[in-house]
Amino acid sequence: MKRKQVEQDAANGYDNEPSAKKPRSGTRASSKTVVDDQPWKKGTAPVNRKSSGRESLLVEDEPEIVSADEELEDGIEQGEPNAELENGAEDDDPEAENMTPRKRDRSKQNGIENQANCTTPNKNSLLKTLFSTPVKVTGTESDTPKIERNVDYSARRKSTRTLIERTILGTTSDNDEEEEDIAEEIYNSEEEEGNVDEDGLGLLAELAEDDATPATPSKRGRKKGSKGTKVRRKSPTPPPDLTPHEKYFYQNRGGRVKTSNNTLSSLALLDHEEYFSRARNLVDPHAKDIQYLEDLHAESFKQWHFEMTQDFNLCLYGWGSKRSLLMKFADHIYKTHSDHTKAKIVVVNGYVHNLTLKDILNTIAGAITEPGCKLGSQQSDMLDNLLALLEEDKNQDITLIIHSIDRIPLRRPVTQTLLSRLASHPQVHLIASADHPSFPLLWDSSLRSTYNFAFHDCTTFQPYTAEVDVVDEVHELLGRSGRRVGGKEGVSFVLKSLPENAKNLFRVLIGEQLAAMDEGMVAPEGADDDNDNEDRRVMVHKRNEPGVEYRVLYNKAVEEFICSNEMNFRTLLKEFHDHQMIVSRKDVLGTEMLSVPFRKEELETILEDIVS
């Protein structure tokens, strides 16, 4: 039925004419809808319909078994700092572990190899650059005092010790971080050695071991290697070709996930103005291809229209904004309508935040009758009345185009139920687009059969310019939602329109908050290098969310004669709330904390603005 299918038919002998008209579209189509198309080769001998690629050829078939090689790679690839603590604990008593004969066997091998390849420290560093994060190969190892002090210890043993010390005693020194890095490095290189050995590559086998007897450390390395496989899996780089579920478990392994402590503080975030001015000038290198893709979809308009006339409703899904495609389609439908007084097209932007079902119903009613008609107050009533209105004249025909039917304004089950009832009416044709990957979950089987959707994959790759407010969304994701007001300029703008009292209150609030921030900043500076997550989190918490207690602020306000009673105070605050200029939250003890959601520098400039 689809154009695509027709093309497919061609491969199967329905249509032998080489389609000279659009030679590219064939290949496009085949690559486009991956699930339902087989690659179409022009002029291939007709294949038996039964056997011709029923199943999608392109659905990835990931190998279930991770081969031994990959397993090894996995091992080699680690260069991961974190697993060490656990390891360290396990290896508390290294001597005992060394006793196992099998281990010794292997270690002998190692020893032989060691002797054979007698490598220079050079190689070691090469090894590190290969497998561990480059930053850490700073050649500091030799100048660390500890290593020199404990020459009789192997570097490994030492590193273990360091790690244990660090965990148990919690001792931290200035060069702790550095030391840990070295420890890890040594540790890792050990493991690498083990793996490489297994691989039979003697090349990388050697390590710079201070110890005269290489057997012991490599033995232990082996031990680690075999024992540590689970632990080592913490590497952020997964082995390739994992099946989806393996990947899931891989990425959700127990234990702490270690990520770097970088924050966005060094990055000046975009505000709306900068975003839009820059976005306007950006040229998408794919614009041509995207346009082509849309034209390709547009070729199915007739088919879609046919489906609509057969009482199917359409639902377009896939990546990319489908707005322009749908508007083109609306145009197509509009052209086929002969009577524009009876046949109307109503467009609903499902992503607009203040959209309600009432709007939709009212507009439809306005389209078929006089604008002023009353449908009623309750949604279900309105729908019933609307349907009755439609029945009055059977020639009336409503094409309802809903952009993003799965976005928040329309997500409520009641709305969906009523919409489906509206769409199931023979005089109403619904064309909807859906963006979310799991949009079918919106509808249960009953709703689904009321909607009677025919779905089409319309991946357009077009940016969601109208649907998504990029800057807001990202800032919400980054926890910087205070930028919603429109940045500090927005705040000053709001403040200008407020009475003097409000301005003063805001000034007090900012002043208090800045004071709180300063307090918070003093402490964490020193602890910044501290790696302990718990501590850090608390610090971050303090630093990120300094606030002013509600009571304190009120008292201040009264002292400064900004307001005389709490009612007054609340009214002022409400104004700020409405403009999203302040955030209130309850802290652990349940006291209400107020804060202005801006960073320190911005607060300072706002304060200057107000004062000046």
Chain positions 480 to 509 lying near another protein, rule: CB under 8 A, are: none
Residues in the chain: 612
- Residue 500: is it exposed, middle or buried by C-beta count within 10 angstroms (0-12/13-18/19+)? exposed
Rounded distance, CA 115 to CA 369, Å?
A: 95
Looking at residue 143, what DSSP letter applies? G
CB 402 within 8 A of CB 433: yes
- Measured from the CB atom, the residue of 389 and 468 that comes closer to another protein is 468
Q: Closest separation between CB of residue 424 and another protein, Å? A: 9
Please report whether residue 450 would count as binding another protein according to CB under 8 A: yes
Of 123, 411, 425, 436, the one binding another protein by CB under 8 A: 436
> Residue from 267, 567, 588, 589 that binds another protein (CB under 8 A)?
267
Asked if 324 is part of the footprint of another protein (rule: CB under 8 A), the reply reads no
Stretch 203-242 residues interacting with another protein (CB under 8 A): 236-238
- Comparing CB distances to another protein, the nearer of 51 and 122 is 51
Residue range at the interface with another protein (CB under 8 A); choices 172-180, 245-253, 555-563, 595-603: 245-253
In this structure, are residues 465 and 38 in contact, taking their beta carbons and an 8 Å threshold?
A: no
In this chain, which stretch among 100-108, 178-186, 258-266, 518-526 interacts with another protein, using CB under 8 A? 258-266
User: Do the bridges between strand 428-433 and strand 313-317 make them parallel or antiparallel, or are there none, so unpaired?
Assistant: parallel
Sole binder of another protein in the list 274, 393, 519, 535 (CB under 8 A): 274
Which range touches another protein (CB under 8 A), out of 31-39, 152-160, 184-192, 485-493? 31-39
Assigned token pair, 169: 């005693």
**Residue 387 near another protein by CB under 8 A:** no
> Of 76, 360, 405, 502, which lies in the binding site for another protein, with binding defined by CB under 8 A?
360
- Please give the Cα distance from 214 to 207 (Å, whole number): 9
CA distance readout (Å), 523 to 517, 527, 539: 11, 7, 8
Q: Check residue 580 for interaction with another protein (CB under 8 A).
A: no
Please answer whether residues 330 and 345 qualify as being in contact, where contact means their C-beta atoms are separated by less than 8 angstroms.
Answer: yes
Q: Counting contacts by CB under 8 A, is residue 381 touching another protein?
A: yes
Q: How far is the CB of 329 from another protein (least distance, A)?
A: 11
* Listed ranges 100-108, 162-170, 268-276, 563-571: which one lies at the site for another protein (CB under 8 A): 268-276
Supply angle C-alpha 242, 246, 247, rounded to 5.
Answer: 70
Member of 41, 54, 570, 585 binding another protein (CB under 8 A): 54
Relative to beta strand 313-317, strand 453-457 is parallel
Which two structure tokens, joined as six digits, stand for 249? Answer: 């478990």
| Smallest distance, another protein to C-beta of residue 491, A | 21
The interface mask with another protein, positions 390-429, x = CB under 8 A, is -----------x-----------xx--x------------
Q: What does the per-residue mask of binding to another protein show for 146-165, with x meaning CB under 8 A?
A: --------------------
Q: 10 Å Cβ neighbour count for 487?
A: 21
Phi and psi (nearest 5°) for 290? -65, -40
Stretch touching another protein by CB under 8 A, among 187-195, 306-314, 558-566, 577-585: 306-314
Query: Is residue 345 involved in binding another protein (CB under 8 A)?
Result: yes
CA 40, 45, 46, 51 dihedral sign is negative
Residue 92 engages another protein in binding (rule: CB under 8 A): no
Nearest distance, CB of residue 170 and another protein, angstroms:
21
Q: Where are the beta strands (DSSP E) in 215-323?
A: 313-317
Half-sphere exposure of 303 (CA within 13 A, CB side): 14
Given 435, 484, 505, 507, the residue binding another protein (CB under 8 A): 435
202 touching another protein, by CB under 8 A: no
Q: Is 346 helix (H, G, I), strand (E, B) or coil?
A: strand
461 binds another protein (CB under 8 A): yes
C-beta closer to another protein: residue 179 or 467: 467
Residue at 508: amino acid letter: V
Binding test (CB under 8 A) with another protein, winner from 79, 214, 239, 320: 320
CB of 127 to another protein, least distance (A): 24
Closer residue to another protein (CB): 554 or 598: 598
Q: How many helices (H) and strands (E) would you count in the chain?
A: 28, 8
Q: What SS3 string covers 33-87?
A: CCCCCCCCCCCCCCCCCCCCCCCCCCCCCCCCCCCHHHHHHHHHHCCCCCCHHHH
The stretches of 91-150 forming alpha helices (DSSP H) are 94-97, 101-117, 121-131, 145-149
Smallest CA-to-CA distance from 348 within 303, 294, 402, 385 is with 402
Span of 85-93, 433-441, 506-514, 550-558 interacting with another protein by CB under 8 A: 433-441
| H or E segment to which residue 309 belongs | helix 301-309
Q: Is 153 exposed, middle or buried (0-12, 13-18, 19+ CB in 10 A)?
A: middle
User: Where in 532-571 is the site for another protein (CB under 8 A)?
Assistant: 533, 536-537, 540, 544
- The SS3 of residue 345 is strand
Closest distance of CB 45 from another protein, Å: 8
> Closer CB to another protein, residue 152 or residue 381?
381
Place of tokens 């939250």: 585
Nearer to another protein, 357 or 510 (CB): 357
Least Å distance, CB 523 to another protein, is 16
Q: Which part of the chain contacts another protein (CB under 8 A), choosing from 28-36, 151-159, 499-507, 560-568? A: 28-36
DSSP-derived 3-state class of residue 436: coil
Segment near another protein (CB under 8 A), from 159-167, 184-192, 477-485, 554-562? Answer: 477-485
Cβ distance to another protein smaller for residue 93 or 534 = 534
Q: Measured from the CB atom, is 224 or 323 closer to another protein?
A: 323
CB of 72 to another protein, least distance (A): 20
Kindly state the tokens that stand for 362: 């009212």
User: How many other CB atoms are found less than 10 A from the CB of residue 98?
Assistant: 17
Q: Which CB sits closer to another protein, 164 or 470?
A: 470
Distance CA 363, CA 251 (A): 49
Considering CB under 8 A, how many residues would be counted as binding another protein? 153
- Which of 57, 89, 257, 527 binds another protein (CB under 8 A)? It is 257
Contacts to another protein from residues 283-302, by CB under 8 A: 284-286, 288-290, 293, 302
Shortest distance in whole angstroms from residue 156 CB to another protein: 27
Query: What's phi and psi for 315, nearest 5 deg?
Result: -135, 120
Contact 419, 410 (CB under 8 A): yes
